């Protein structure tokens, strides 16, 4: 077992960090304040293959291993969690299910545009009455004229306001619990597919989260992903991969909050000396550093399982659960270390605090992660 990053991973981290600090960092404050999606940054990311991280090179992607992928998302999120969110959702649940379950024709049709960032990807599961309960999905797809007609509404869709290709989870076999749903690839411009208003959210404000509406939206049979009735299987696989990305995003937020806290503790003077000289602040920083290391190891273990071709669902759930809690705890401590300044929008830790919370909610709430983990634990012989 080797805990030292290889040359490739060090190179990936350095390259992404340099890009993020040069091209994203100067815009972050205004993007958050204005709730604006940075298309100008996206244009610079496209030729660097940020949108094809997990897409094979045969279809225009970078074909990165899972550890490299996690490093990219962590470094982007260390500077802008909202842009890190866009990239991880696009790659892990927008494009990767097509890589895993698509036919060759589907891969050649849809993946090159996703890899090049010409189309931003999204995965649409959540509805007004279905979030953690995927069985409560009411959007349905009716077979008609050799294809499907989709009707329903998806809410809180990450990348919803800018997506060009959306994977839609819809009921096709309501009478059969095991084959109840399918996943459909629906492209922007398809008649009957429309986008709602952008949500005014607490954090991740530079990511355009919206509702998507489907009213008699017709798609051909070739847009169904996998075999008929594979929706649950595809959805669970997408969420496992997505949880690695969200864990990496949460880790990036935690690392940013920690770095800001170390800098501030060395600079801020109280009682005639830097606050870093006080035991309480040292204890905060020691706990933050230790927990960040633990989260990174949990994340990399899940990535290693995925790269080895072994089941990684429970490992991804543990990484997502731990890293999302880590992001929230670290951001909270960072605000406390900064005192009144930490509550001001002039300091980045205020944004980290707002961005951190949602990592405990999307791609499966922390409560759902505990369900996944406990089922794995209870299925093992004692």
The string of DSSP letters for 274-313 reads: EGGGSHHHHHHHHHHHHHHHHHHHHHHHHHHHHHTTS--H
Q: What is the DSSP letter of 152?
A: E
157 is written with which tokens? 């869709």
The Cα–Cα gap between 121 and 358 comes to: 20
318 DSSP β-pair partners? none
The string of DSSP letters for 330-349 reads: HHHHHHHHHGGGGGSTTSHH
Could you tell me the CA-to-CA distances from 122 to 109, 164, 282, 333, 353 in Å, in that order?
Answer: 17, 8, 42, 33, 25
Burial call 113-133: b when 16+ CB within 10 Å, e when fewer: bbbbbebbbbbbbbbeebbee
Q: What are the catalytic residues?
A: 363
Side-chain-side CA neighbours of residue 218 (13 Å): 6
The H-or-E segment that residue 324 falls in is: helix 313-338
273 DSSP β-pair partners? 270
The Cα–Cα gap between 85 and 359 comes to: 10
Q: Which of 145, 165, 149 is nearest to 157 (CA)?
A: 165
Across the chain, where does the E strand assignment appear? Answer: 120-124, 140-144, 147-157, 163-171, 181-187, 193-198, 210-220, 224-225, 269-270, 273-274
Those residues with Cβ within 8 angstroms of residue 32's Cβ, 6 or more apart along the chain or in another chain: 82, 205, 206, 351
The Cα–Cα gap between 113 and 56 comes to: 13
The Cα–Cα gap between 38 and 208 comes to: 10
The Cα–Cα gap between 254 and 257 comes to: 5
């Amino acid at each position: 077992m080797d805990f030292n990053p290889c040359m490739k991973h060090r190179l990936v981290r350095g390259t992404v960090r340099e890009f993020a600090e040069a091209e994203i960092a100067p815009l972050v404050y205004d993007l958050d304040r204005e709730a604006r999606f940075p298309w100008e940054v996206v244009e610079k990311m496209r030729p660097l293959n940020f949108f094809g991280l997990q897409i094979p090179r045969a279809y225009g992607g970078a074909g990165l291993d899972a550890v490299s992928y996690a490093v990219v998302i962590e470094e982007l999120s260390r500077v802008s969690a909202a842009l890190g969110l866009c990239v991880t959702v696009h790659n892990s649940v927008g494009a990767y299910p097509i890589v895993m379950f698509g036919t060759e024709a589907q891969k050649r049709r849809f993946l090159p545009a996703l890899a090049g960032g010409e189309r931003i990807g999204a995965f649409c599961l959540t509805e007004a009455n279905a979030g953690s309960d995927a069985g409560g999905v009411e959007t349905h797809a009716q077979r008609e004229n050799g294809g499907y007609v989709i009707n329903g509404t998806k809410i809180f869709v990450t990348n919803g306001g800018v997506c060009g290709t959306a994977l839609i989870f819809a009921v096709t076999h309501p009478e059969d619990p095991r084959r109840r749903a399918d996943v459909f690839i629906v492209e922007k411009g398809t008649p009957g597919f429309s986008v709602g208003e952008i949500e005014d959210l607490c954090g991740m404000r530079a990511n355009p989260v919206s509702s998507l509406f489907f009213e008699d939206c017709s798609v051909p049979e070739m847009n169904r992903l996998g075999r008929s009735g594979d929706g649950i299987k595809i959805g669970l696989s997408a969420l496992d991969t997505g949880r690695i990305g969200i864990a990496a995003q949460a880790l990036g937020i935690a690392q940013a909050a920690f770095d800001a806290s170390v800098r501030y503790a060395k600079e801020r003077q109280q009682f005639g000396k830097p606050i870093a000289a006080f035991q309480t602040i040292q204890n905060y920083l020691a706990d933050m550093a230790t927990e960040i290391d633990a989260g990174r190891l949990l994340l990399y273990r899940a990535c290693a399982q995925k790269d080895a071709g072994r089941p990684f669902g429970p490992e991804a759930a543990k990484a997502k659960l731990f890293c999302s809690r880590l992001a929230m705890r670290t951001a909270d401590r960072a605000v406390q270390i900064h005192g009144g300044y930490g509550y001001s929008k002039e300091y980045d830790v205020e944004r980290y605090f707002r961005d951190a919370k949602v990592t405990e909610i999307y791609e499966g709430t922390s409560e759902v992660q505990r369900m996944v983990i406990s089922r794995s634990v209870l299925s093992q012989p004692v």
